[in-house]
Amino acid sequence: MAGLPERLTKAAATSLLAGALGGAALLAGEMLAAKARRYAKPTMGLALRTSMGPAGAPPLRLVLLGDSAAVGVGVEWLADTVGGQLARLVADGSPETGPRHVLLSSVGVAGSRSMDLATQVARALLGARPDVAVILIGSNDATSLRDPEEAAGHLGQAVRRLRSAGVQVVVGTCPDLGAMRSLAPPLRQIAGLVGRRMARAQAKAVIEAGGSVVDLGAETGAVFRADAGTLCYDGFHPSADGYRVWAHALYPAVAKAAMSGV
């Protein structure tokens, strides 16, 4: 019996090693499967531009920056994008704010990471200055395992440049990646953890840079996890319903920013 503890220790170590190797193989397989999936592509070009609301109402220039969310990948109609639905909410207004004539544009590019925001900020500041900028970024930083602090640093720089130009800025931080049905467990759970780390770093950087933060993961993640209809066919990008959920989460901060710029 004297050798039993040693045998148990060796057996446990062997089991842990096998489990670790098996887990790594499982994750590797899931990552390959996720990369091989057919994902939605942009259908409306790289720039969206429209206007909404009464022509005689006070104008508001609203620009979106960021990744696929900023150009509405996953839907086919501008009205179904988060920008289109957000612009409609702002245009309709409330008893406190009244209606606005919203001039909506987007300089977002699908696949963008935070390091790409510098070019987008330059494009956003060409011509007439926007009143409010909404930045949706972080998913690609997280899924490509970028350092959260480094990615957040690029985001903070973008916010500072916009604020220095007199633009009010609202940032929707990295959404709940644990709600993505394009990933199988446990990769989905890992993505959720990585996304939350990214969102925390983003929030800190944005506040320090003078912007407003909307924690999309905290505010809308439960809805996306419960309702598969909030994602489009690829299980990664939002559907029209998903973008509507995001638009309603962003609206209070955007309405406040719009009033600050009056």
By annotation, the residues acting in catalysis are: 68, 234, 237
Residues 6+ positions from 104 with CB-CB distance below 8 Å:
48, 49, 50, 51, 52, 62, 63, 64, 83, 84, 87
Structure tokens at 262: 């009056």
Measured from the Cβ of residue 188, the count of other Cβ atoms closer than 10 Å reads 18
72: left (phi over 0), alpha (psi -120 to 50) or beta: left
Residues 6+ positions from 152 with CB-CB distance below 8 Å:
114, 198, 201, 202, 204, 205
3-state secondary structure of 94: coil
